[in-house]
Structure 1
Amino acid sequence: MNFFQAIILAIAQGVSELFPISSVAHSVIIPYLFGWKLSPFFLKTNFLEFVVMMHIGTTISLIVYFRKDWKKILKSLFNKKTSKRDLALIVIGTIPAIILGAIFEQTITNAFSDVIVASIFLIFNGLLLFFGEQTKKRGNKSIEDLKGWQALVIGCFQSLALIPGFSRSGSSITAGFWMGLSNEESARFSMLLSTPMVAGAATLEIPKLIKNHVPGLLSLSLIGGIVAGLAAFLSVYILMHWFNHKKNNTMLPFAIYCIVIGIGVLASKAI
């Protein structure tokens, strides 16, 4: 992997991890579109360090952007009089992805992480975004209004991201719509749920990173982490601004993008 490839992948990771367009699908589709011949050995071993750094960069960006929320949550841990409801809802919403990820993630990733299948599920992701918003409630709830079971449902939908092509944020935001959250609150809860998941993914891979560390790859990985972090911060800023000011058809551009890209890649493979 050269410098140009690292920058492109880092930007794509930072954007697609938070925009509802599936970072896993883009990690499969982008090398195909650019005609990169990345060896299976490199992707299985050496690429790990780069992925971990990108996840760390994305996590830092989410924590910085939602620092007020996380500061409030952390303070609640040390103050008996402060409500811990936000923390409890995040924990509940995170449980499904942790359990299902531990059981199925490797099997699903190995079975479905090819460009054709990723494109097919990217199309399904677009359809979920489109029809999910069309059938949503007229939401006006805040995160604090959620019940425990509703947070669990949102967490279950977040787990769809285990399938390459489905977006973590797209699935959880759509479920938030169905649970009656307002546009901005659904996006905010999705981002708060994403933070421990992205951080956890990086943390779980660190022992493998130490074991498989490749001399000379660290500097490229650090650059990738910084670029992914900057792209993620800009993405979450744009996304939250979009959801705060747009009340209707908030998911339509992302739905169209996913469907068009998915169909386009499938068409190119058929030619």
Structure 2
Amino acid sequence: MSLLLLIFLSVLQGVTELFPVSSLGHTLLVPAVLGVRLDRHAPALLPFLVALHLGTALALLLYFRTRWIALAKGFLGSLRGRHSADGHLAWGLIVGTIPAGLVGLLLEKPLAHLFHDLKVVALALMINGIVLRLGGRRDADAAPASPPVEAQRLTLRQAALVGLAQVGALIPGFSRSGLTMVAGLRAGLSRAAAAEFSFLLGTPIILAACVLELPKLRHHHTQLASAALGGLLTGLAAYLSVRFLMRYFEGRGRLATFGAYCLVAGALCLGWLAWHPLV
């Protein structure tokens, strides 16, 4: 892999992992449309992409470091019988992580085959756009008489349902952050709280994927240096992305805007792939 391609994929991953537009979908589709050949059947591809995700996870840990310290203290306190909002949220994140973790382990091999069909990825990106459009419109039309709740006040059942939305993102083209933000809005969270809960919820699942996939790079020594550099570049891009997105959703930012983008981008990629069936 050339240095230029490595930089391109790393920055693309760092930006699109947190933006609700599907990082995996973009990593597979954009190089194909640009004429860059990625061997989607290569056994080292998935571990390499997961290594880029590690950079994203570290960026999220750094950005929300104060929150994670409070959550850790709250969790330890809950084990000693001390109840707190941070302890409740920590348990909510644990419960919310379970659905996608179980499905990912059980369906790892069948889901891996979806990497090979770019038309399915493009179609999934379009459906992701529809979900974001509908979720964004519901948010815009929400009654002001019903004030949004904070993440600490989510019930464990609500946290589990938000976490269940992550399962859809196991299909390339669906956005993990987008699906969980929509689910968070449906649970009554504000846009900023839904974004924060989504980013917090995504960190354990990304780290778990790294634990499973990164050891596979031991058999591909030439990829180790590329993975390390890519993870660093991805982390830098992800940190800037989360700073932007938190400010965006704390303001007047809407998910529907990203939904429109996904619809257009997915349709263009699907049309392009129809004319280039050998990709």
| Aligned equivalent of 1:268 | 272
What's the CA shift for 1:114? 2.1
Calculate percent identity across the aligned residue pairs. 37
Pairing 1:115–2:102 present: no
Map 1:28-177 to 2 at 5 A. Answer: 28-40=28-40, 43-45=42-44, 47-79=45-77, 80=80, 81=82, 83=84, 84-111=87-114, 113-136=116-139, 137-138=142-143, 140-177=148-185
SS at match of 2:131: helix
The CA distance in 2 between the partners of 1:269 and 1:29, in whole Å, is: 9
What's the CA shift for 1:209? 2.0
TM (norm. structure 2) is 0.90
What's the CA shift for 1:82? 5.2
Letter of the structure 2 residue corresponding to residue 3 of structure 1:
L
The CA distance in 1 between the partners of 2:188 and 2:62, in whole Å, is: 27
- Give a deviation string over 1:114-155, Cα, whole Å, max 9, x none: 221111010000000001122344451001111111111111
Gaps of 5+ in 1: none
The CA distance in 2 between the partners of 1:197 and 1:78, in whole Å, is: 20
| Aligned equivalent of 1:242 | 248
The CA distance in 2 between the partners of 1:101 and 1:220, in whole Å, is: 26
- Give a deviation string over 1:95-118, Cα, whole Å, max 9, x none: 110111111233123135422111
The CA distance in 2 between the partners of 1:40 and 1:109, in whole Å, is: 10
Gaps of 5+ in 2: none
SS at match of 2:107: helix
How large is the Cα RMSD of the aligned pairs? 1.7
Pairing 1:10–2:14 present: no
What's the CA shift for 1:219? 2.3
Pairing 1:232–2:238 present: yes
Q: Point out the more displaced range, 91-100 or 80-89.
A: 80-89
- Contact 1:49/1:213 (8 A) holds in 2: no
Cα distance, 1:187–1:40 mapped onto 2, change above 3 Å:
closer
The CA distance in 2 between the partners of 1:224 and 1:112, in whole Å, is: 20
What's the CA shift for 1:193? 0.3
- Contact 2:133/2:257 (8 A) holds in 1: no
The CA distance in 2 between the partners of 1:4 and 1:112, in whole Å, is: 23
Letter of the structure 2 residue corresponding to residue 270 of structure 1:
A
Cα distance, 1:49–1:118 mapped onto 2, change above 3 Å:
closer
Q: Point out the more displaced range, 75-84 or 50-59.
A: 75-84
- Matched length: 265
What's the CA shift for 1:208? 1.7
Map 1:192-271 to 2 at 5 A. Answer: 192-210=200-218, 212-214=219-221, 216-246=222-252, 250-271=254-275
- Contact 2:136/2:182 (8 A) holds in 1: yes
The CA distance in 2 between the partners of 1:195 and 1:40, in whole Å, is: 25
